[in-house]
Amino acid sequence: MRILIHCGQSWRSDVFIVAAILATGMNGCGYPEVSQKTYDVANALFAASNRRSAEHIEKAAVLVSELQAAGEITEREAGWLLEIVEQARSGDWDGAATEARTLIADQVKPAG
């Protein structure tokens, strides 16, 4: 599918308009703020995925279940973490590491 926007000016202004629309549309993407426990497990999942350690992935999965049962993380947070676990279990180590890193990075708030 092709989207063409033309505002009667040069192609550069058209590109700028498309870029601005895309940037605005992406503004709400990513993970919202999570608990410290979720952040810590995401870090553990990132490390386990980078090491391709099935053993550590399984330990993290058990920990997620325990934290959720104890009410220390939300069902939503547990779901995100378990999705990362499933990626690793399926052999998508790089995808799991990337997703864990994204969750972690989305917690960093810009200065200002």
pLDDT digits 0-9 by tens, 21-47: 444 344 457 899 999 999 999 999 999
For the chain, the structural domain boundaries read: 1-30, 36-105
Which residue bears the tokens 């980078």? 50
The pair of three-digit structure tokens given for residue 84, joined into one six-digit string? 């990362």
The pLDDT score that the predictor gives to residue 108 is 83
- CA–CA gap between residue 54 and residue 88 (Å, rounded): 8
The pLDDT score that the predictor gives to residue 5 is 44
The pLDDT score that the predictor gives to residue 60 is 98
Within the chain, which residues score under 70 in pLDDT? 1-28, 109-112
Contact 23, 4 (CB under 8 A): no
